[in-house]
């Protein structure tokens, strides 16, 4: 009899649809801590994988990279290589990391940097804490301490072979900056400054003083946190 026919696959919904609905309700009704990290990844993968169970993939990603932040900051090729992923799923995760960076950067640009220090630290942590190579950036500020230019100066170990005090100050004059903040990351995770970090900061600060350019700080970012050379009395 037609009335006794089993439901079609379309009518019954795909396997896991009930689980997806429960996650959706917890996300919308439960607040920011409603979902565990693997469930956040599950949900993000729904867009790339409309059918099927994404929980095993989410747990495999956390096992491979160690944390939610590390997954979202991982290289797209490394993400795509995880079993069950591929380029489409990797892109679904990378767009979230990109959105987070854009939001954090917007917070920094909207107000004086020195008056919104935590927003700056949040931006730097999102953007740099999980890098696997050392990267040097210079944040150039105007007379009101607003960000003029976020300049990537170098990739590699910080020393005078990699970042020249004269070039840092020259760029400040070119863009009309009156102050700057040095930033770099430690891929080891430990943000404590090295002797080279302290020495190059002193040289850039001295070069800046001669031309009226103030070095407000040198911030070192790592997975274990951040260190301000100014807060440590090293500037």
Residue boundaries of the structural domains of the chain: 12-102, 113-228
Q: What pLDDT sits at residue 110?
A: 66
The mean-pLDDT minimum among 39-43, 78-82, 120-124, 180-184 falls in 120-124
pLDDT tens digits, one per residue of 132-144: 888 889 999 999 8
Report CA-CA distances (Å) from 140 to 92, 121, 233.
33, 16, 21
**CATH class label, 113-228:** alpha beta
Residue 160 pLDDT grade (very low, low, confident, very high; cuts 50, 70, 90):
very low
CA dihedral (211, 217, 220, 225) in degrees, to 10, reads -170
pLDDT, averaged across the chain: 83
The pLDDT score that the predictor gives to residue 213 is 95
For residue 117, is pLDDT > 90? no
pLDDT band at 159, cuts 50/70/90?
Answer: very low
Contact indicator for 23, 30 with CB cutoff of 8 Å: no
Domain 12-102 and domain 113-228, same fold? Reply is no
Percent of the chain with pLDDT over 70: 86
How far apart CA 65 and CA 80 sit, in angstroms, is 13
Q: Tell me the pLDDT band of 230, cut-offs 50, 70 and 90.
A: very high
Q: What is the mean pLDDT of residues 154-178?
A: 79
Burial of 22 (0-12, 13-18, 19+ CB in 10 A): exposed
Q: What sign results for the dihedral spanned by CA atoms 50, 54, 57, 63?
A: positive
pLDDT at 8 over 90: no
Strand order in the sheet with 179-185: 147-155, 135-141, 179-185, 214-222, 225-228
DSSP category for residue 141: E
**Residue ranges with strand state E in the chain:** 135-141, 147-155, 179-185, 214-222, 225-228
Rounded to 5 degrees, φ, ψ at 22 are: -65, -40
Tell me the pLDDT band of 157, cut-offs 50, 70 and 90: low
Rounded CA-CA distance 73/8 in Å is: 41
Question: How is residue 109 written in tokens?
Answer: 């640009």
Lowest-confidence segment of 50-54, 56-60, 63-67 by average pLDDT: 50-54
Residue 108 has pLDDT above 50, yes or no: yes
Tokens of 214: 């103030």
Residue 62 to residue 41: CA distance in whole angstroms:
9
Q: Which CATH class is domain 12-102?
A: mainly alpha
- The rounded radius of gyration (Å) of the Cα atoms in the chain is 23
pLDDT of residue 72: 87
Of 28 and 115, the structure prediction assigns the larger pLDDT to: 28
Residues 120-137, mean pLDDT to the nearest whole number: 83
Neighbours of 57 (CB within 10 A): 20
């Amino acid at each position: 009899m037609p009335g006794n026919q089993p439901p079609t696959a379309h009518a019954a919904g795909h396997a896991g649809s009930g689980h997806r609905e429960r996650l959706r309700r917890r996300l919308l009704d439960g607040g920011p801590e409603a979902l565990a990290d693997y469930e956040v990844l599950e949900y993000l993968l729904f867009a790339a994988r409309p059918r099927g169970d994404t929980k095993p993939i989410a747990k495999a990603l956390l096992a491979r990279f160690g944390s939610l932040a590390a997954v979202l900051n991982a290289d797209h090729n490394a993400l795509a290589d995880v079993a069950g992923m591929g380029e489409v799923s990797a892109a679904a995760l990378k767009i979230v990391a990109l959105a987070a960076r854009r939001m954090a950067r917007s917070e920094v640009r909207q107000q004086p940097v020195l008056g919104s220090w935590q927003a700056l630290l949040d931006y730097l942590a999102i953007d740099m804490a999980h890098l696997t190579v050392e990267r040097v950036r210079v944040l150039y500020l105007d007379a009101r301490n607003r960000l003029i230019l976020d300049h990537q100066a170098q990739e590699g170990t910080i020393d005078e072979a990699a970042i020249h005090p004269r070039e840092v100050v020259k760029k400040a004059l070119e863009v009309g900056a009156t102050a700057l903040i040095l930033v770099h990351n430690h891929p080891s995770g430990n943000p404590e400054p090295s002797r080279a970090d302290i020495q190059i900061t002193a040289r850039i600060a001295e070069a800046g003083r001669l031309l009226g350019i103030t070095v407000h700080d040198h911030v070192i970012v790592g997975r274990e946190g951040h260190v301000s050379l100014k807060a440590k009395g090293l500037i």
